[in-house]
């Protein structure tokens, strides 16, 4: 029996995990549980048939089913259920697709996303400056409560969105957007996360090229160039770049054993490719990456990683999927991402389309050197964003999904 639950409650709970990701994993988990309860009570799930209008629905459903099936040949069921659980967060996309979206609820989601980042940015500064009494690690400045790799990728996503809103003034005024952009960019160049910084360098010119035309495009590209020069001039970025180069040199000189960040990533990728070569049809099982990599290291087939026993993925979304679930798993993941990307691209100049496009590009590119499919925040984020109304304009929105939206 459905209950009359106000829309602001349903949509607020749907967006609340996005707000909590930089602040509290527990807060995100609790808000997610509350959404599930409210969603079931609301009766919106009765509109389940409209889900199949979305092009990503079938591959996502099959990917979830195949991941759960992979538990049948998994030896480490503890790890298997952990990673299968991450994939089942995809059910949030189905829930979102059944909700009655309006312009106001899109604004609520995006504002909660930005508000969570802003609060953590302020707390990160206070912790780094030793004003706020909290555990501080000198090699992790301006990170706050967030994971440093996720933090810089989220900042890049926010900056990608702000470029659109500065042009459209759909969510905030130009002054507010510029202020937020300045704060997030400062955090980006001061934080130690190379993942998001690299994505910023790649995606900023793409965003400018898509949004602006004529003389505006060249002005914007000039500003983008200055921003990338400022990023490269950051002592934190320079030190992390030197460390990365040192990691790669160490691995090249001694590929038999590594203890460095990038060396371990390369070792995990190597192991994942070896697993796919040995088990191309069904993979090693949903939770058996760590066990299989340990076996390969014992047989001296892949690089040793002494002192780092937690090799639980290939540090690459696509190699990981191929390793644990074989060619069917990799094919389903690619099918889902391609379908979502195409749907998002068609709506790229609407608010929801541009916002999700930024994250989808990050998921594609960031997944080349991180296993985003199994990350708590990443798996939930892509599911929530896929559930946004990417196949239509929303009630109350000025966008019709047809205009290219670029400056003349």
| 183 is a domain residue | yes
| 336 is a domain residue | yes
| 353 is a domain residue | yes
Segments forming the whole domain that contains residue 360? 7-240+316-386
Residue 403 DSSP label: S
What is the enclosing helix (H) or strand (E) of 18?
helix 7-20
| 142 is a domain residue | yes
Q: For 173-221, how does the pLDDT look when each residue is reduced to its tens digit (9 = 90+)?
A: 999 999 999 999 999 988 887 888 889 888 888 888 888 877 767 777 7
pTM reported for the whole predicted model? 0.90
Per-residue pLDDT at 386:
97
| 93 is a domain residue | yes
Q: In sequence order, what DSSP letters do the residues of 336-392 get, joined into one string?
A: HHHHHHHHHHHTTTSHHHHHHHHHHHHHHHHTTTS-GGG-HHHHHHHHHHHTS-TTS
Mean pLDDT by 10 residues, the chain (408 residues): 78 96 94 95 92 96 96 91 90 96 95 97 93 79 89 95 93 95 92 85 87 74 76 74 79 79 88 94 93 91 82 91 96 97 94 96 93 92 96 56 37
Number of domains in the chain: 1
| 26 is a domain residue | yes
| 293 is a domain residue | no
Query: How far apart (Å, rounded) are the C-alpha atoms in residues 279 and 6?
Result: 50
| 262 is a domain residue | no
């Amino acid at each position: 029996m459905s209950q009359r639950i106000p829309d602001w409650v349903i949509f607020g709970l749907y967006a609340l995990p996005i707000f909590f990701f930089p602040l509290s994993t527990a807060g995100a988990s609790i808000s997610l549980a509350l959404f599930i309860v409210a969603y079931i009570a609301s009766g919106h799930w009765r509109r389940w048939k409209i889900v199949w209008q979305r092009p990503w629905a079938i591959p996502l459903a099959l990917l979830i089913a195949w991941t759960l099936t992979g538990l049948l040949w998994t030896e480490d069921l503890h790890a298997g259920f952990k990673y299968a659980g991450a994939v089942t967060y995809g059910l949030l996309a189905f829930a979102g697709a059944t909700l009655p979206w309006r312009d106001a609820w899109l604004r609520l989601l995006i504002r909660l996303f930005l508000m969570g980042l802003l609060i953590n940015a302020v707390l990160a500064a206070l912790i780094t400056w030793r004003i706020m009494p909290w555990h501080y690690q000198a090699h992790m400045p301006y990170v706050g409560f967030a994971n440093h790799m996720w933090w810089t990728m989220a900042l890049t996503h926010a900056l990608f969105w702000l470029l659109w809103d500065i042009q459209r003034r759909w969510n905030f005024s130009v002054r507010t957007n510029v202020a937020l952009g300045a704060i997030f960019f400062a955090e980006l160049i001061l934080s130690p996360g190379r993942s998001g910084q690299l994505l910023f360098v790649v995606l900023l010119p793409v965003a400018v090229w898509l949004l602006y035309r004529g003389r505006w495009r060249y002005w914007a590209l000039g500003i983008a160039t200055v921003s990338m020069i400022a990023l490269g001039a950051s002592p934190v970025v320079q030190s992390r770049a030197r460390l990365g180069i040192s990691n790669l040199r160490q691995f090249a000189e001694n590929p038999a054993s590594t203890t460095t960040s990038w060396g371990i990533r390369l070792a995990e990728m190597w192991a994942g490719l070896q697993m796919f070569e040995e088990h191309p049809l069904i993979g090693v099982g949903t939770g058996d990456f760590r066990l299989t990599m340990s076996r390969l290291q014992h047989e001296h087939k892949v690089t040793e990683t002494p002192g780092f026993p937690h090799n639980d993925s290939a540090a690459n979304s696509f190699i990981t999927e191929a390793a644990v679930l074989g060619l069917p798993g990799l094919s389903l993941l690619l099918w889902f991402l391609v379908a979502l990307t195409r749907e998002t691209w068609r709506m790229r100049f609407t608010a929801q389309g541009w916002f999700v496009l930024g994250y989808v590009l990050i998921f594609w590119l960031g997944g080349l050197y991180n296993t985003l499919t199994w990350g708590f925040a990443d798996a939930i984020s892509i599911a929530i964003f896929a559930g946004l109304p990417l196949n239509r304009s929303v009630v109350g929105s000025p966008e019709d999904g047809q205009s290219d939206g670029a400056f003349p």
